[in-house]
């Protein structure tokens, strides 16, 4: 577990932390030791009654806020002692609020820099499914900072280049890759990415599951619906339409209907299931809030966001850990308003203190079950390259730069109608990359030209987008030049190609010069070799993703501590002649002894010296000057606005036998006794040189004992780097296994989940204290969890509370009517658990008829809850069997599922059971919960003719649900074969299955193979299947079926 920006990581043992890793150069280095057990923070001892992580996180926040040292109590070799470390000061808000504009910007910038350090030149961060690449691009784009737009652009272009069908579980990368492409276009107007976005939208529509969600892979691979990527896939469809792409309307409507139905019902479940009873489930309610907001469905968006805003204490629950909860939670809570968002994030402040590393990364903390396990659970293994981009979006909320972060509809959307003709022209110039015309038009637009609020908003958007593009262009050109000087030609080339694509081939006058430089053979060779190096790095980094292999761990250790991928960006303060010769004043002195006193200092009068572009040498006589050979001195002034940085360097070119000295503001910084063979020597100055630089005019002076106009013409430049990315390359101390026996008396009981359980109990206790009348009012609440708390409280009040709820059976609000069902069911469960008296149970059963009319309620959820609850009452519910038999034909699949399951629970007569089962199979739906129960009833009961049963079974085979139903379909085929021994009606259905017309390829358990096997068992009667089976044999895509196909063909073609 990461221990915040200390630079240490630990294994949690009970309510203590055992230090497992320390980064060199970090605040923890020299303060903590490997194996230390941290037992307290800021004077508070960790204990079993509180979550030690909260105590530690709050102590870190206090230290950062106050600027005072972080104090920790540790056990070291069995002896308790105190240690302290100093953390960089962060924020001034006394409450520790991290999400104001100023503080969040600092954290956001550090996160963006860490991502750029890890980003390959082509925009990729090698991570599982390339998810880190797309999340990084989103965060870099969300920053709205010209320093990071180039990284966002290259990430978007990488997303544009990916062959998603070759990726495993491709609905995940198609979702987040498509999200990046859509947000990138809406932010920048760069329509070069719309082609791939349109392809993704089409592919998602083609691969959508019957229910309206998506699975791991497109098309479905048999796993079933998986709503975590499914919600994001639906967001992509909505934003793609906003980008002007024609989206399959049916697919989008199905997705919105599927996810929207969970609003006010509960948490969005794992897949094609009924709602859960949590406030959020690993962020899916939060992402659904964003989806509904973008789709203009305010009721659902409000319901989801309010539920999320209350969920700050259960954010760590989620399948494989709550990484996506951390990504989407703040985005969903933000839609509930600023007050709700502040409470949501403030209550998790300790968490956000712990996830930040001293390197700027944002690391997801292990979920409860993984805190004591050394594996890849919960996206921990993948590290900051994977998680920083997603988690960092919370810190970008104040900027509201992305649509998923609350940005207004984009000016670049063709659905945004502009009334101002000049503004329409400006938008068109932007799209055509006619920058000069755009700038003139924007400058000419006056407030009088903006008649509507939309026009005013879009004018601001266009100006901001153009300003960001200009700032980013200058920064990118600076980085390209720096990379070329540093020998990182491949990095420079990728940046240049991306910049030209974004601005257009003629987008900047400086492009022509850069084209010539990249055409140089030496530079071109550097590009090729640089690509080889970065491709090798990417291959090794890709192996680190494979945590389940020994090679994955070995590769991870190999790259740990290696230099960052990103070259430092050096800003030119005084350029060399090859870049843009500055104005120098030169004096030919013959010998050093002839140098005037103080020549190197500011204030020296050099007006008599030769002025010109570059240093004037003796060999420049052909330019109108005649000078003696020998020593030379030159002075150049340059202006610095901001002198703050990490390092200065001199780039010096001089002849080999010369002694050359360079002075900065009068002080010697370089004394070179010999020049190099050719080109420029790059000389990094010690840190003291930074103190010589000051705002305003500065002086660079140089003298050399020799001069030559050949390959080594005397020249000098000065560069400054603002930030050195060295932290990734510092060594790491670690232990791979904790010394378990070091402190045998330590309590290793995991107590993290107890924190959530205590909160849940405290919240329930608050509701238990409420009077009945208030609780009845809470049953109308939009948030399902509030209704659950009220229902539990009413049940806890015994007959008084239960009777009060039952009396609400005719309430006009469907939520209250559904609570009547829930309270009856909860009360029954509670009575049985507590072994209540027969009298209490009898009183409860006497109210069962109250539920009967709810089976025909107008609201599907009430019908579902009534049908679900009645099954637990046994004989008391027997009178509703006829109503349940009708309910199996309900238009809602959940209602049909509840009805058939309750019928099975009530042990009905065989004829009733079989009839209900056959009715269900005629409407199988999208999931296997309904037909699975129906088939079990058919197996267990006799009744109805074989023909009627066969019709129902064939209907299921022709219209199967999706996901994991291979075993059931195989059983159904066998049952049908028994009912149709000649195969007259079954064989055509089996041929359709073999030809995959019923999409059995999407099912687990290979039911398609079962259909082919049965065709073989029918022998010559299945001769009509031969063309289909022969076509399968010729298909490389069906290699897995070739053996069973050949066996079936042999059986069909066998002579009697």
Looking at residue 337, its pLDDT comes to 96
Give the model confidence (pLDDT) of 492-503 as tens digits: 999 999 999 999
- Give the distance between the most distant pair of CA atoms in the chain: 120
Contact in structure between 776 and 36 (CB atoms under 8 Å): no
In a domain, 988, yes or no: no
Q: For residues 520 and 650, state if they share a domain.
A: no
Q: Give the containing element (helix H, strand E) for 183.
A: helix 171-188
Residue 586 sits in a domain whose CATH number is: 2.60.120.260
SS3 72: strand
In order, the DSSP letters of 448-465 are GG--SHHHHHHHHHHHHH
Contact in structure between 719 and 683 (CB atoms under 8 Å): no
List CB contacts of 910: < 8 A, sequence separation 6 or more.
Answer: 941, 942, 943
Looking at residue 92, its pLDDT comes to 64
Looking at residue 374, its pLDDT comes to 42
Q: What is the CA radius of gyration of the chain?
A: 35
SS3 320: coil
Name the DSSP class of 1041: G
Contact in structure between 793 and 785 (CB atoms under 8 Å): no
Q: For residues 596 and 708, state if they share a domain.
A: yes
Q: How many CB atoms lie within 10 A of CB 890?
A: 20
Q: How many CB atoms lie within 10 A of CB 1010?
A: 23
Contact in structure between 383 and 389 (CB atoms under 8 Å): no
Q: The tokens 């020549």 sit on which residue?
A: 599
SS3 793: helix
In a domain, 806, yes or no: no
In a domain, 847, yes or no: no
Q: The tokens 């959940």 sit on which residue?
A: 894
Distance, CA of 750 to CA of 12 (rounded, Å): 8
Q: For residues 581 and 494, state if they share a domain.
A: no
CA 403, distance to chain mean position in Å, is: 15
Give the model confidence (pLDDT) of 926-964 as tens digits: 888 889 999 999 988 876 677 889 999 999 999 998 877
SS3 654: coil
Out of 33-37, 79-83, 167-171, 673-677, least confident range: 673-677
List CB contacts of 272: < 8 A, sequence separation 6 or more.
Answer: 209, 211, 213, 224, 225, 926, 927, 962, 963
Q: Tell which phi-psi region holds residue 11, choosing left (phi > 0), alpha (psi between -120 and 50) or beta.
A: beta
Looking at residue 836, its pLDDT comes to 73
Looking at residue 748, its pLDDT comes to 65
Q: For residues 690 and 584, state if they share a domain.
A: yes
Q: For residues 531 and 598, state if they share a domain.
A: no
Q: Of the candidates 288, 268, 260, 274, which has an alpha carbon nearest to the alpha carbon of residue 863?
A: 274
In a domain, 477, yes or no: yes
Give the 3-state DSSP-derived string for 576-619, with helices as H, strands as E and coil as C. CCCCCCCEEEEEEEECHHHCCCCCCCCCCCCCCCEEEECCCCHH
Looking at residue 568, its pLDDT comes to 87
Q: For residues 176 and 210, state if they share a domain.
A: yes
Distance, CA of 205 to CA of 910 (rounded, Å): 42
Out of 80-84, 128-132, 1021-1025, least confident range: 128-132
Angle between helices 453-486 and 435-444 (to 10 degrees): 140
Q: Of the candidates 728, 367, 323, which has an alpha carbon nearest to the alpha carbon of residue 541?
A: 728
Residue 885 phi, psi (nearest 5): -60, -35
Residue numbers of the domain that contains 446: 421-538
Distance, CA of 243 to CA of 411 (rounded, Å): 10
Looking at residue 806, its pLDDT comes to 96
In a domain, 510, yes or no: yes
Q: The tokens 């010394």 sit on which residue?
A: 739
In a domain, 708, yes or no: yes
Comparison of pLDDT for 364 and 602, the residue scoring more: 602
Q: The tokens 């003696």 sit on which residue?
A: 628
Give the N- to C-terminal CA distance of the chain in Å, as an integer.
70
Percent of the chain with pLDDT over 70: 93
Contact in structure between 383 and 391 (CB atoms under 8 Å): no
Q: For residues 478 and 432, state if they share a domain.
A: yes
Looking at residue 321, its pLDDT comes to 73
Q: Give the containing element (helix H, strand E) for 586.
A: strand 583-590
Contact in structure between 146 and 472 (CB atoms under 8 Å): yes
In a domain, 1023, yes or no: no
Q: For residues 715 and 745, state if they share a domain.
A: no
b/e sequence 16-55, b meaning 16+ C-beta within 10 Å = bbbbbbbbeebbbbebbbebbbbbbbbeeebeeebbbbbb
Contact in structure between 55 and 44 (CB atoms under 8 Å): yes
Give the model confidence (pLDDT) of 650-679 as tens digits: 999 888 788 899 999 999 999 998 777 677
Looking at residue 751, its pLDDT comes to 66
User: How many domains does the chain contain in total?
Assistant: 4
Angle between helices 249-260 and 227-242 (to 10 degrees): 130
Contact in structure between 331 and 301 (CB atoms under 8 Å): no
List CB contacts of 263: < 8 A, sequence separation 6 or more.
Answer: 288, 292, 299, 300, 303, 304
In the predicted structure, residue 147 carries a pLDDT above the cut 90: yes
Q: For residues 52 and 16, state if they share a domain.
A: yes
Residue that terminates a domain, selected from 197, 229, 248: 248
Angle between helices 511-519 and 453-486 (to 10 degrees): 30
Give the model confidence (pLDDT) of 233-263 as tens digits: 999 999 999 999 999 999 999 999 999 999 9
List C-alpha distances in Å: 429 to 436, 468, 705, 734: 9, 16, 56, 56
Q: The tokens 């299921």 sit on which residue?
A: 956
Contact in structure between 229 and 275 (CB atoms under 8 Å): no
Q: For residues 172 and 241, state if they share a domain.
A: yes
List CB contacts of 211: < 8 A, sequence separation 6 or more.
Answer: 225, 254, 258, 272, 926, 927, 962
In order, the DSSP letters of 345-382 are HHTTHHHHHHHB-TTS-B-PPPPGGGTT--S-GGG-TT
Looking at residue 628, its pLDDT comes to 41
Contact in structure between 354 and 58 (CB atoms under 8 Å): no
Looking at residue 373, its pLDDT comes to 44
Looking at residue 621, its pLDDT comes to 53
Residue 83 sits in a domain whose CATH number is: 2.30.42.10
Distance, CA of 520 to CA of 398 (rounded, Å): 45
In the predicted structure, residue 109 carries a pLDDT above the cut 60: yes
Contact in structure between 53 and 752 (CB atoms under 8 Å): yes
Residue that terminates a domain, selected from 248, 265, 284: 248
SS3 734: strand
Q: How many CB atoms lie within 10 A of CB 660?
A: 24
Q: The tokens 């003629």 sit on which residue?
A: 506
Residue 733 phi, psi (nearest 5): -100, 135
Residue that terminates a domain, selected from 521, 538, 555: 538
Structure token digits, residue 691: 């103190």
Distance, CA of 898 to CA of 825 (rounded, Å): 14
Out of 130-139, 506-515, 706-715, 881-890, least confident range: 706-715
Out of 627-631, 770-774, 1020-1024, 1052-1056, least confident range: 627-631
In the predicted structure, residue 607 carries a pLDDT above the cut 60: yes
Using the Cα atoms of residue 501, residue 505, residue 509 and residue 514 in order, give the sign of their dihedral: positive
SS3 704: strand
Out of 127-131, 466-470, 739-743, least confident range: 739-743
Distance, CA of 154 to CA of 804 (rounded, Å): 62
Predicted TM-score (pTM) of the model is 0.92
- Name the average pLDDT for the chain: 91
Q: For residues 703 and 746, state if they share a domain.
A: no
Helices (H), 128-170: 131-142, 149-161
Distance, CA of 960 to CA of 998 (rounded, Å): 7
Contact in structure between 534 and 124 (CB atoms under 8 Å): no
List CB contacts of 818: < 8 A, sequence separation 6 or more.
Answer: 859, 861, 862, 865
Distance, CA of 584 to CA of 636 (rounded, Å): 5
Give the model confidence (pLDDT) of 363-417 as tens digits: 988 765 555 444 444 556 678 999 999 999 999 999 999 999 999 999 999 999 9
Give the model confidence (pLDDT) of 324-347 as tens digits: 999 999 999 999 999 999 999 999
Q: For residues 237 and 169, state if they share a domain.
A: yes
Distance, CA of 253 to CA of 684 (rounded, Å): 61
In a domain, 375, yes or no: no
User: Looking at residues 796-807, what average pLDDT do you find?
Assistant: 95
Give the model confidence (pLDDT) of 285-302 as tens digits: 999 999 999 999 999 999
**What are the CB-based long-range contacts (under 8 Å, 24+) for 448-455?**
449/420, 449/422, 449/423, 450/420, 450/423, 451/419, 451/420, 452/419, 454/416, 454/417, 454/418, 454/419, 455/418, 455/419, 455/420, 455/423
Residues forming beta bridges with residue 12, ordered by sequence position: 17
Give the model confidence (pLDDT) of 56-103 as tens digits: 999 999 999 989 999 999 999 889 999 999 999 887 665 667 788 888
């Amino acid at each position: 577990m990461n221990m915040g920006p200390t630079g240490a990581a630990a294994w949690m043992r009970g309510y203590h932390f055992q230090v497992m890793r320390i980064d060199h150069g970090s605040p923890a280095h020299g303060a903590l030791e490997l194996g230390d057990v941290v037992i307290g923070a800021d004077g508070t001892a960790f204990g079993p009654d509180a979550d030690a992580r909260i105590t530690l996180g709050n102590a870190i926040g206090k230290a950062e806020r106050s600027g005072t040292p972080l104090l920790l109590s540790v056990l070291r070799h069995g002896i308790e002692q105190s240690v302290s470390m100093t953390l960089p000061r962060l924020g001034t808000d006394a409450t520790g609020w991290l999400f104001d504009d100023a503080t969040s910007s600092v954290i956001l910038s550090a996160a963006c820099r860490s991502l750029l350090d890890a980003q390959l030149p082509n925009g990729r961060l090698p991570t599982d499914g390339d998810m880190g690449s797309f999340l990084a691009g989103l965060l870099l784009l969300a920053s709205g900072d010209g320093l990071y737009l180039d990284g966002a652009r290259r990430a978007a272009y990488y997303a544009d280049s990916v062959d998603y069908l070759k990726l495993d579980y491709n609905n995940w990368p198609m979702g987040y890759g498509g999200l990046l492409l859509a947000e990138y276009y809406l932010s920048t107007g760069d329509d070069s990415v719309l082609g791939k976005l349109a392809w993704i939208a089409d592919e998602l529509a083609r691969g959508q599951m019957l229910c309206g969600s998506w699975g791991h892979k497109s098309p479905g691979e048999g796993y079933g619906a998986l709503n975590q990527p499914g919600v994001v896939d639906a967001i992509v469809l909505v934003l793609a339409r906003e980008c002007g792409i024609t989206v399959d309307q049916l697919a989008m409507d199905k997705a919105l209907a599927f996810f929207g139905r969970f609003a006010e019902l509960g948490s969005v479940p794992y897949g094609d299931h009924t709602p859960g009873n949590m406030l959020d489930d690993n962020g899916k309610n939060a992402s659904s809030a964003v989806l509904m907001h973008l789709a203009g469905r305010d009721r659902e968006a409000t319901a989801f966001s309010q539920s999320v805003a209350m969920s700050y204490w259960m954010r760590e629950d989620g399948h494989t850990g709550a990484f996506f909860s951390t990504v989407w939670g703040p985005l969903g809570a933000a839609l509930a308003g600023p007050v709700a968002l502040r409470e949501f994030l403030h209550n998790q402040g300790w968490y956000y203190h712990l996830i930040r590393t001293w390197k700027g990364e944002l690391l997801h903390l292990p979920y409860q079950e993984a805190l004591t396990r050394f594996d890849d659970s919960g996206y921990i293994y993948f590290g900051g390259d994977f998680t920083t981009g997603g988690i960092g979006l919370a810190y970008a909320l104040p900027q509201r730069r992305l649509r998923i972060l609350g940005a207004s509809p984009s000016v670049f959307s063709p659905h945004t109608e502009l009334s101002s003709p000049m503004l329409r022209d400006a938008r068109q110039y932007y799209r055509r990359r006619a920058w000069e015309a755009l700038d003139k038009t924007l400058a000419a637009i006056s407030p009088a030209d903006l008649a509507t609020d939309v026009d005013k908003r879009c004018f601001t958007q266009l100006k901001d987008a153009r300003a960001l593009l200009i700032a980013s262009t200058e920064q990118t050109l600076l980085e390209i030049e720096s990379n070329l000087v540093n020998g990182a030609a491949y990095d420079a080339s990728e940046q240049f190609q991306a910049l030209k694509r974004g601005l257009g081939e003629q987008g900047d006058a400086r492009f022509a010069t850069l084209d010539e430089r990249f055409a140089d053979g030496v530079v071109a060779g550097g590009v090729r070799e640089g690509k080889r190096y970065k491709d090798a790095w990417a291959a090794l980094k890709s192996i680190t993703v494979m945590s389940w292999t020994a090679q994955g761990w070995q590769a991870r250790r190999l790259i740990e501590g290696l230099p960052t991928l990103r070259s430092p960006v050096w800003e030119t303060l005084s350029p060399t002649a090859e870049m843009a010769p500055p104005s120098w004043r030169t004096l030919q002195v013959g010998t050093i002894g002839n140098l005037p006193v103080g020549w190197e200092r500011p204030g020296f009068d050099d007006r008599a010296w030769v002025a010109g572009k570059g240093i004037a040498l003796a060999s420049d006589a052909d330019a109108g000057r005649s000078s003696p050979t020998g020593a030379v001195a030159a002075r150049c002034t340059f202006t610095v606005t901001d002198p703050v940085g990490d390092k200065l360097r001199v780039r010096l070119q001089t002849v080999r036998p010369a002694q050359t000295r360079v002075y900065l503001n009068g002080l010697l910084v370089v004394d070179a006794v010999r020049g190099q063979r050719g080109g420029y020597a790059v000389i990094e100055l010690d840190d003291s040189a930074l103190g010589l630089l000051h705002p305003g005019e500065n002086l660079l002076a140089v003298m050399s004992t020799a001069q030559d106009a050949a390959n080594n013409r005397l020249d000098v430049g000065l560069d400054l780097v603002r930030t050195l990315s060295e932290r990734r390359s510092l060594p790491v101390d670690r232990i791979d296994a904790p010394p378990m026996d070091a402190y045998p008396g330590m309590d290793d009981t995991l107590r993290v989940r107890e924190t959530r359980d205590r909160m849940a109990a405290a919240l329930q206790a608050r509701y238990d204290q409420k009077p009945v009348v208030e609780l009845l009012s809470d049953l109308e609440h939009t948030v399902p969890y509030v209704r659950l708390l009220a229902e539990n409280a009413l049940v806890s009040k015994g007959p008084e509370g239960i009777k009060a709820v039952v009396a609400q059976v005719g309430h006009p609000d469907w939520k209250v009517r559904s609570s009547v069902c829930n309270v009856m069911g909860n009360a029954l469960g509670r009575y049985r658990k507590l072994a209540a008296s027969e009298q209490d149970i009898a009183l409860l059963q006497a109210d069962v008829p109250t539920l009967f009319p709810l089976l025909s309620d107008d609201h599907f959820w009430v019908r579902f809850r009534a049908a679900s609850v009645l099954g637990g009452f046994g004989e008391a519910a027997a009178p509703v069997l006829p109503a349940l038999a009708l309910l199996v034909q309900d238009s809602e699949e959940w209602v049909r599922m509840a009805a058939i399951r309750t019928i099975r629970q009530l042990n009905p007569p065989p004829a009733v059971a079989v009839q209900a089962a056959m009715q269900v199979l005629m409407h199988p739906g999208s999931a296997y919960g309904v037909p699975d129960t129906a088939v079990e009833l058919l197996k267990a009961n006799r009744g109805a003719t074989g023909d009627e049963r066969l019709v129902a079974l064939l209907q299921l085979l022709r219209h199967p649900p999706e996901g994991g139903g291979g075993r059931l379909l195989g059983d159904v085929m066998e049952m049908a074969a028994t009912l149709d021994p000649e195969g007259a009606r079954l064989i055509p259905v089996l041929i359709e299955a073999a030809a995959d017309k019923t999409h059995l390829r999407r099912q687990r358990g290979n039911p398609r193979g079962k259909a082919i096997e049965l065709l073989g068992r029918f022998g010559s009667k299945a001769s009509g299947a031969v063309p289909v089976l022969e076509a399968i044999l010729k298909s490389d895509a069906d290699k897995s079926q070739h053996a069973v196909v050949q066996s079936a063909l042999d059986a069909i073609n066998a002579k009697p």
